[in-house]
Structure 1
Amino acid sequence: MTLVKFNPDLKNNGSLLPGFNDVFNSIFNDTFFNDRLVSRVPGANISESEDYFHVELAAPGLKKDDFKISLDRNVLNISVEQQADNSETKKNYSKREYSYSSFVRSFTLPESANAEQIEAAYTDGLLKIDIAKREEAKAVRRQIEIK
């Protein structure tokens, strides 16, 4: 037997079969399915300034030593593989959402990136990677005089 959540506020929501939509809402809004549908990979922001490309990865709860950053040809790989902490197993969680055991994010660098000048720093749950641009790729700016 399966229990189906029913929302009486939506009992007459234009459907010919009242409660029919509640069956699907209870299935797809249940945390059992949502936890498996949602990717457990940290989000990334990619921006560009005049001299650098910037990659920011939101990964709270990790340590600097958990990250492995590598460059293979033109692809920047960021990976994390955490070992299970035995002290955490004594807790009885009713829901646990911010647990990254391992992930890999890969970014293809543009041809204008200088692969020899890449710097990374991890502070306050944010991994920041700065990738220098090649000199020929930097924007040339100058003031043009009007005659």
Structure 2
Amino acid sequence: MTLVKRNPDSSFPSLFDNFFSRDWMDWNSLNYSNTNTTLPAVNVREDDHEFTIEVAAPGMKRNDFNISLDNNQLTISSEIKREDESKNGKYSRKEFSYQSFQRSFRLPVDLIDGDKIAAKYDEGILSIHLPKKEEAKPKPSRMISIK
């Protein structure tokens, strides 16, 4: 069973309304982790002016991420290799780790202004702001005069 939220007051389809019913989120080929680790959690929010995708990625740095937009597909990826080695007399310790992930979202062509997408990383949260095109923003109601 597919749950689909509909907003009868809006004449434009909502990316958030169709979050689970659209094919823009393909778990088989677009979202994966090379290291069989958990993919970062993602929140998708919508207001009148933009969509915001928030990726929970504590302990990472701003330069650890790659974000690309190609043919209306937004891809967030990261690849981190870390090594730590210490030697103390007879003992030595070497630890290394490797993490990578990729999450992709197919964006609706008619809603998002791809030239104005912006991202920031703050306190473990990567926020990607996807501004709506002017024609997709809700218009205030107005009175129509009768002639």
Q: Percent identity between the aligned chains? A: 41
Q: 1:47 aligns with which of 45, 48, 52?
A: 45
Cα deviation 1:3-34 (Å, max 9, x = unaligned)? xxxxxxxxxxxxxxxxxxxxxxxxxxxxxxxx
Instruction: In structure 1, give the amino acid aligned to 2:119.
Output: A
Match of 1:72 in 2: 70
Match of 1:137 in 2: 136
Change (3 A) 1:100 1:45: farther
Asked if structure 1 preserves the Cα contact closer than 8 Å seen for 2:49 and 2:137, the reply is yes
Cα deviation 1:52-80 (Å, max 9, x = unaligned)? 01100001010000000000111000000
Asked if structure 1 preserves the Cα contact closer than 8 Å seen for 2:74 and 2:104, the reply is yes
Mapped pair 1:115 → 2:114:
yes
CA distance in 2, matches of 1:62, 1:54: 20
Match of 2:18 in 1: none
TM-score using structure 2 length: 0.62
Q: 1:84 Cα shift?
A: 2.0
Change (3 A) 1:83 1:100: closer
What is the root-mean-square deviation of aligned Cα atoms in Å?
Answer: 2.6
Structure 1 moving runs of 4+ over 3 Å:
87-92
Match of 1:101 in 2: 99
TM-score using structure 1 length: 0.62
Q: 1:40 Cα shift?
A: 1.3
Instruction: In structure 1, give the amino acid aligned to 2:75.
Output: N
Structure 2's unaligned 5+ residue stretches are: 1-35, 87-91
Q: How many residues align?
A: 102
Mapped pair 1:124 → 2:117:
no
Asked if structure 2 preserves the Cα contact closer than 8 Å seen for 1:40 and 1:100, the reply is no
Structure having the higher strand fraction is 2
Larger radius of gyration: 1
Kindly indicate whether structure 1 or structure 2 has the higher relative contact order, using CA contacts under 8 Å at least 6 residues apart. 2
CA distance in 2, matches of 1:58, 1:119: 17
SS of residue paired to 1:41: coil
Instruction: In structure 2, give the amino acid aligned to 1:115.
Output: G
SS of residue paired to 1:85: strand
SS of residue paired to 1:65: helix
Structure having the higher helix fraction is 1
Instruction: In structure 2, give the amino acid aligned to 1:67.
Output: F
